[in-house]
Structure 1
Amino acid sequence: MLNRYPLWKYLLILVVVGLGFIYALPNLYPADPAVQVSGASSSKVMDERVQRRVEQALSAADVDIKSVELDDGSLLVRLNHADQQQLSKSLVKEALGDDYVVAINLAQTTPEWLTSIGAYPMKLGLDLSGGVHFLLEVDTAKAVQLKLDIANSEIRTALRKEKLRYRTMPERADGARQMAFNDVASRDKAARLISRDFPDLTVENTEVNSRPVVSFGYSETAIREVEDYAVRQNLTTVRNRVNELGVSEPLVQRQGRNGIVVELPGVQDTAEAKRILGKTANLQFRLEALPDASRVSTETFSFRNSARPAVALERDIIITGDQVSSAQSNFDTQSGQPQVNINLDSHGGTVMNRATRNNVGRAMAVIFIEQKPVTKVVTKTVDGVKVKETIQSFQQEESVISLATIQSALGNQFRITGLDSSGEASELALLLRAGSLAAPMYFAEERTVGPSLGAENIQMGVHSTVIGLILLLIFMVVVYRVFGLLANIALSINLVLLMAVMSLFGATLTMPGIAGIVLTLGMAVDANVLIFSRIREEIRNGRPIQRAIHDGFDRAFVSIFDGNITTLLVGIILFAVGTGPIKGFAVTLCIGILTSMFTAIVLTRSLVNVTHGGRNLKKLHI
């Protein structure tokens, strides 16, 4: 019989539409402004005592708290007013100190029964909902110093190999390193060796207190290159860390000479993001100093979270975390303690093998280096009024996490033990895997980002979409009557399915994406217009009404398919080669084309079949 679907097809359509409504439903629940607190390190425990301190600090300032949740090592404070986020963040930070990371957040309000089936709200881009903005400043001077330290260590090794005796002297005011020799011939030979093996260094022969001295450092051009490399390396590392966090459509770009801007839309755990992005975790491998080593050539380090006495290590650095190519955390099969398995790159493996091969039986230490925030609140008088000002600074901590005897020559693979917990091992592996920072970074600025297009423009954009949709609905009813009403039902369901698919796949809706939705609505209406015009034409040609309906849908299919498939290909190309707003437009366009083809061809026809199929119609109002 014409224009009738079997029962299973109707049931399948109902299931698809029902799932669409369920997965689009979370978008009706707006997010709460919130402040999130987590430990500065993964070993820091969040408990009810911390929760009480936070609640007391906020209550004393009359902050309107909606709820407080303690879950999975993180404390989430939901607020009733978005304009109290910054104030709450400052109060909590002042109350807890530097052992905790405090960040602003947008907390979901989706019911648990929806999240249990994977139904989450659609992510909104910065231009619609705003997000979190970080400005990170790279300590480029530290990068130059570290680079010179490594070169200094390699130069010492080369001089010892050539049996050139030297004495280390204090650094010059410009940061250049100095070495004194017993005679001019030794000094000149050392200068030639440094110039040959280290072409990036500027070598100068001088005399200090009548002793021959060779000094070396980087020229202004080389310093610029090192600084530029440090910023680019940190930029790459930050991008990798953002990818590890799973943030969709983030903005990570360089700003000025040593700044990096990070904007994260739709991030739920902003405290974790801040902790991971700003973590300067690096490693150094050094040999334990010999008993008769001079104090000038050694440096003393304490053990991390251990009562063991401090240990004296050689100043020469074997390798750093920059040579780590991959890192994975697991547990030692014998002791059950957390560890990190590390693979080095070819250069790092060669240097490690040479250092350990010649020092079997000696102890080698693994030094963990991190920048810890130090917050100081000072009271200043401005125009006779006392104002509290928060000063943020950082303190570098270097501590030994492992000291083990070298049993045999090491190569590209080895493991690090001595970590406090599996969480710390996982975090260290993540940071090393994402890439080591070439220089420390500091949070120079953190703030919420309002919609970049402005609330008024966004409101106008939404209103124009709604007005356009209403005009389309009226047009379809006026021109095509009952068939137009059925098309409007399918068009509304098309919007629901579009939102459901974008929510289900974690796509991000941006302002250009709304333009893609508007274009999708136009294409969906265009498909219905083609079908209904074809039905009218078949009726004018004398076809029976049921045959005209059947042929109208069948013969319009080819035109609809061709038009939509070419637009889909264009959308795929835009997504592949575009960035930012272009990607947002392409995502909604491609998804909208697929949903509009389903609603225009399958859903509209099923509605027509239910209302008109199988009936002996003498006249059709279309």
Structure 2
Amino acid sequence: MNPKNAIARRMIFLSITLLIALIYALPNLYPNVAVVQVTSEQIQTEQINILLNQHSINYQWINPEAIGFESVESQMQANDILSNAQIPDHSFAINLQSATPSWLSVFGAEPMKLGLDLQGGVHFLLHVQENTPETTDAEISKIENLLMDEGIRYDHVQFSGATYLAQIKAEKDIQRAKILIESSFNTQANMTSSSLSWTNTSEDRELQREYAIEQTIQSLENRINELGISEAQIARQGLEYISIDLPGVQDIAYAKKIIGKTATLRFHLVSPSAQTDERVYDQHGNAYPLEPKAILSGNEIIYANARMEQMRPVVDIKLNGKAHNFYDQTAASVGQPLAVVYSELKKIEESYINEEQVISAPVIRQPLGDSFFIQGLSSFEEAQDLALLLRSGALAAPVEFVEETIIGPSLGEDNIQKGILSLAIGTLCVSAFMAYYYGALGMIANIALYMNVIITLACLSIIGATLTLPGIAGIVLSVGMAVDANVLINERIREEYDKKKSLRTILNKGYDNALSAIVDANITTLLVTLVLFFMGSGAIKGFAVTTSIGILISIFTAVYATRIISTYLIDKNILTSFGNNRMWFKNIPQIAFMKIRHKTFLFSSVLLGASILLIPLRGLNLGLDFTGGTQVVLEFAQDTNQAQINSILHKHNITDAQIQTYGSSNVFIIKSANAAKLTKTTLAAITQDLPGSKVLQNEFIGPQVGQKMLSTGIIAILCSLLISLFYVTIRFDLRFAISAIISLIHDPILILGLFSLFQIEFNLIALAAILTTLGYSINDTIVVYDRVRESMKNDTRISTTQALDNGINQTLSRTILTSGLTLSVVISLYLFSGTYLHGFSIAFAIGIIIGTYSSIYVAGALALKLGLKREHIITPINNEAIS
């Protein structure tokens, strides 16, 4: 096969790949349009226009299905106004409408979804409670449904202690019921002539928990769909948490009211002679003695709709056709009151209680079938909320709001602009240097960098990823780290260039020599990033996704794409020189690094000891992610200072707040560990005292979430260290691996020491930076180790100390260039991406400096102390000959 023809075919493949990536990346230039969706048989355009003009809200266009707006802020204001106006036969919902050109839509190309930090909205983290009366009721309901589906009639199913008891009506059904229960719950049931009993094992409890969470997620999805919220994201997080993102929503109180209600409906016969002490009251204080067993539960309801009946709110009900007992009981109880009992599970301190209320107790006039209506509701809004809850189904388990965030749309738009600016400036800094320093090879490397960004955006769009501000940081960071492979290759090419070989031979040799280090370095960084993905959540997971995809694509673009392009240009006589006119490192230095290893080892030990003492003595300035509490971002229309804000906070009995500027002089962030004080009511009062102020972001994190985040972060660091130890042991030697891991432990301790010394806020994104630093530092160390191994292979007489010095000296140019370029990217993140990423930028910048130092002085020195010798790295010649 002609090598030139093969290269030409690969160029065609590369061009097609880039074209496909462009098609799927381009929709991100056409962001979705914020619209208010209108549901109506005939839209009242003129009335809508008048309402919006009265409130000075401009819209771009209006059609029979939707109204388009320039910003999410205008969209939400318009939705509130139109919804409150109660235009007859009109319903309104916020939505996002695709603006992607039709020719791109043909390929199924759509823009990435934007996270709440980029478009505004509400985020909740819910803790699904276990071992509550509600979870037991859900399991009993599940058993009852199983029996009914098989036509097995029963008197009741109950749970006591750890045992379930099902009382079966017909003796002939007992055996069938036993087989059904045992197969459905993987248990052993005891059978009598009229009942079944079985124990709730640990496996049963696990299944019960899984069922409760799955049913809760399904009910939450139904409720959110009923609220008309598009692009909502509901995801399980860990074993017992559910994350909910509601873009565009700003009314956090109403969203909580609907989402978090663990409400059920039961129907009991009312009898003055009922043999029970249980009495349930209505809203007027009237007591109703109820028969102990409900004749109908909300689980049988498949349809509920609110309407007005003779100027009274009612809720129409339809059943699932399986409530045969309900018809029989109401037929036998004509003339007797039937109480509709609304039950809601509420948390009082550390326990849950059922708060019950009789909505109404009408007299049964005739047997009730699968359709009837409920009356006695106090308002139409109450009827609407009840109908929504009944349609979506009761939550299978109670939930607790342990994290809440509300982000204003203007802050989201500002984050987008800052994120794009930091990405553009970071990429330009890197590409300008590469073009200046490496000439033609640098220009080819720049093509690979731009390809890296385009393909990354395309991949994120194809997989339907949600882009967040930390996600943008991941893309920016992957650009900085991707340049490392290009620097490695170009430095290897320069080493070969002096040997006066053909350009193609020099090129191939340079790529071949650099490949091992590139693969090893990127795999270890990728493994650490995967730990972030699997152990992180929310924004951290978004950061891990973009970073890991960027790393994988950088291997493709740096190793494959640049090689194909360079070879093609050489074959076409377009590239006739590699342009070595600018060389800051013309000769490999001969610095005796290991000669001063004892001094550097002592220096590192002193720094480590100081950090280890400083961290518990001075403490870390832990962010809200780890401590829990409330954080509010306020924007002021007029000049305001911290003293004035603090005075107003004291007026509202908030004395523990931390106040600092947030990006600009008129935006402040307020943090308080006491979440109960910074409520919506208090914030409204504060904004009234400071005219022209508005809330851009309001975040609450429960203390249990903060503690879990902290422990998860520590576990993530340990997992990263173990994975790195395992990989380096396989690729090199256990002594190398141990010295690399100790040098890795050295890096985060020093970073935390500096955070403690200067009291820089340490939050979740800063923890992500430390984990990323581990990957970056091991990357540096592996590049050195790779050269040490190469030196020992090429010179059998070289000592271990000399090999370590050679390895560090030969990679010194790459280390300085890569560290400098990555630092420039991190600085652009710090300067242009906003205050939220400051902790990340500072932690990573410190990590780059410390990681570079440790890869040069600490890792090699430790390897020598552990007794590293040539035979530990290079297989003896006799063994090689045998093999």
Aligned residue for 1:34? 35
Aligned residue for 1:57? 51
The question of whether the paired residues in 1 share the 8 Å contact of 2:566 and 2:575 is answered with: no
The question of whether the paired residues in 2 share the 8 Å contact of 1:133 and 1:446 is answered with: yes
Name which of 449, 469, 489 aligns with 2:408. Answer: 449
Identify if the C-alpha distance between structure 1 residues 581 and 91 changes in structure 2 by more than 3 Å, giving closer, same or farther.
closer
1:109-136: CA deviation from partner (whole Å, max 9, x where unpaired) = 2234434533221222232332347999
**Structure-1 separation of matches of 2:37 and 2:473:** 34
Identify if the C-alpha distance between structure 1 residues 507 and 33 changes in structure 2 by more than 3 Å, giving closer, same or farther.
same
1:26-105 aligned at under 5 Å gives the runs 26-37=27-38, 46-49=40-43, 53-59=47-53, 61=55, 63-70=57-64, 75-80=65-70, 83-96=73-86, 102-105=92-95
**Structure-2 separation of matches of 1:616 and 1:242:** 59
The question of whether the paired residues in 2 share the 8 Å contact of 1:338 and 1:417 is answered with: yes
1:150-201: CA deviation from partner (whole Å, max 9, x where unpaired) = 9xxxxxxxxxxxxxxxxxxxxxxxxxxxxxxxxxxxxxxxxxxxxx99xxxx
**1:15 and 2:24 correspond:** no
Please state how far the C-alpha of 1:480 moved relative to its aligned partner.
1.6
The question of whether the paired residues in 2 share the 8 Å contact of 1:103 and 1:274 is answered with: no
Please state how far the C-alpha of 1:318 moved relative to its aligned partner.
1.9
**Structure-1 separation of matches of 2:523 and 2:405:** 44
**Structure-1 separation of matches of 2:75 and 2:395:** 31
**Structure-2 separation of matches of 1:369 and 1:601:** 65
The question of whether the paired residues in 1 share the 8 Å contact of 2:21 and 2:455 is answered with: yes
**Structure-1 separation of matches of 2:61 and 2:262:** 34
Aligned residue for 1:318? 294
Q: TM-score, normalised by structure 2?
A: 0.40
**1:241 and 2:235 correspond:** no
- Name the amino acid aligned to 2:566: V
Q: TM-score, normalised by structure 1?
A: 0.55
**Structure-1 separation of matches of 2:365 and 2:102:** 48
The question of whether the paired residues in 2 share the 8 Å contact of 1:242 and 1:277 is answered with: no
More helix by share: 2
**Structure-2 separation of matches of 1:548 and 1:77:** 62
SS at match of 1:65: coil
**1:126 and 2:126 correspond:** no
**1:522 and 2:523 correspond:** no
More strand by share: 1
The question of whether the paired residues in 2 share the 8 Å contact of 1:5 and 1:606 is answered with: no
Name which of 268, 277, 286 aligns with 2:267. Answer: 286
Please state how far the C-alpha of 1:5 moved relative to its aligned partner.
2.9
**Structure-2 separation of matches of 1:574 and 1:66:** 42
**Structure-2 separation of matches of 1:341 and 1:594:** 55
Name which of 367, 383, 393 aligns with 1:432. Answer: 393
**Structure-1 separation of matches of 2:50 and 2:292:** 50
**Structure-2 separation of matches of 1:76 and 1:281:** 33
**Structure-2 separation of matches of 1:35 and 1:53:** 15
SS at match of 1:77: strand
SS at match of 2:100: coil
Identify if the C-alpha distance between structure 1 residues 609 and 516 changes in structure 2 by more than 3 Å, giving closer, same or farther.
same
**Structure-1 separation of matches of 2:101 and 2:372:** 38
**Relative contact order higher in (CA < 8 Å, ≥ 6 apart):** 1
Please state how far the C-alpha of 1:398 moved relative to its aligned partner.
7.1
The question of whether the paired residues in 2 share the 8 Å contact of 1:89 and 1:103 is answered with: yes
Identify if the C-alpha distance between structure 1 residues 405 and 85 changes in structure 2 by more than 3 Å, giving closer, same or farther.
same
- Name the amino acid aligned to 1:431: S
**Structure-1 separation of matches of 2:508 and 2:27:** 38
SS at match of 2:520: helix
**Structure-2 separation of matches of 1:249 and 1:242:** 7
Aligned residue for 1:110? 100
**Structure-2 separation of matches of 1:609 and 1:79:** 50
Please state how far the C-alpha of 1:247 moved relative to its aligned partner.
3.6
* Alignment RMSD (CA, Å): 5.7
**Structure-1 separation of matches of 2:215 and 2:258:** 12
Identify if the C-alpha distance between structure 1 residues 451 and 556 changes in structure 2 by more than 3 Å, giving closer, same or farther.
farther
The question of whether the paired residues in 2 share the 8 Å contact of 1:285 and 1:367 is answered with: yes
Aligned residue for 1:481? 439
SS at match of 1:5: helix
Name which of 257, 264, 269 aligns with 2:246. Answer: 264
**1:575 and 2:533 correspond:** yes
**Structure-2 separation of matches of 1:436 and 1:47:** 39
Aligned residue for 1:537? 495
1:292-316: CA deviation from partner (whole Å, max 9, x where unpaired) = 999x9999x9xxxxxxxxxx99665
Identify if the C-alpha distance between structure 1 residues 417 and 558 changes in structure 2 by more than 3 Å, giving closer, same or farther.
farther
Please state how far the C-alpha of 1:53 moved relative to its aligned partner.
4.7
**Structure-1 separation of matches of 2:326 and 2:450:** 70
The question of whether the paired residues in 1 share the 8 Å contact of 2:121 and 2:407 is answered with: yes
Identify if the C-alpha distance between structure 1 residues 403 and 505 changes in structure 2 by more than 3 Å, giving closer, same or farther.
farther
- Name the amino acid aligned to 1:557: L
Aligned residue for 1:25? 26
The question of whether the paired residues in 1 share the 8 Å contact of 2:328 and 2:367 is answered with: no
Q: Gapped runs of 5+ residues in structure 1?
A: 39-45, 137-143, 151-195, 198-232, 253-259, 302-311, 330-336, 343-351, 372-394, 407-415, 421-425
- Name the amino acid aligned to 1:264: L
The question of whether the paired residues in 2 share the 8 Å contact of 1:249 and 1:265 is answered with: no
Identify if the C-alpha distance between structure 1 residues 447 and 428 changes in structure 2 by more than 3 Å, giving closer, same or farther.
closer
- Name the amino acid aligned to 2:459: V
1:571-610 aligned at under 5 Å gives the runs 571-610=529-568
SS at match of 2:439: helix
The question of whether the paired residues in 2 share the 8 Å contact of 1:282 and 1:320 is answered with: no
SS at match of 2:99: coil
Aligned residue for 2:449? 491
Please state how far the C-alpha of 1:106 moved relative to its aligned partner.
4.5
1:367-420: CA deviation from partner (whole Å, max 9, x where unpaired) = 79799xxxxxxxxxxxxxxxxxxxxxxx997799x99989xxxxxxxxx95499
Please state how far the C-alpha of 1:464 moved relative to its aligned partner.
3.6
SS at match of 2:60: strand
The question of whether the paired residues in 2 share the 8 Å contact of 1:2 and 1:550 is answered with: no
**Structure-2 separation of matches of 1:322 and 1:17:** 55
Please state how far the C-alpha of 1:472 moved relative to its aligned partner.
1.3
1:174-213 aligned at under 5 Å gives the runs none
Please state how far the C-alpha of 1:590 moved relative to its aligned partner.
0.7
1:316-370: CA deviation from partner (whole Å, max 9, x where unpaired) = 552786879xx999xxxxxxx997589xxxxxxxxx99x8899698589997979
Q: Gapped runs of 5+ residues in structure 2?
A: 127-131, 138-159, 162-211, 226-230, 283-287, 304-316, 345-356, 374-386, 581-883
SS at match of 2:31: coil
The question of whether the paired residues in 1 share the 8 Å contact of 2:94 and 2:248 is answered with: no
The question of whether the paired residues in 1 share the 8 Å contact of 2:36 and 2:75 is answered with: yes
- Name the amino acid aligned to 1:18: L
Please state how far the C-alpha of 1:492 moved relative to its aligned partner.
0.9
Identify if the C-alpha distance between structure 1 residues 433 and 608 changes in structure 2 by more than 3 Å, giving closer, same or farther.
farther
1:267-304: CA deviation from partner (whole Å, max 9, x where unpaired) = 9x999x9699559695545366799999x9999x9xxx
- Name the amino acid aligned to 1:19: I
Identify if the C-alpha distance between structure 1 residues 448 and 471 changes in structure 2 by more than 3 Å, giving closer, same or farther.
closer
**Structure-2 separation of matches of 1:584 and 1:548:** 40
**Structure-2 separation of matches of 1:451 and 1:87:** 13
The question of whether the paired residues in 1 share the 8 Å contact of 2:121 and 2:408 is answered with: yes
Please state how far the C-alpha of 1:614 moved relative to its aligned partner.
6.3
Identify if the C-alpha distance between structure 1 residues 278 and 403 changes in structure 2 by more than 3 Å, giving closer, same or farther.
farther
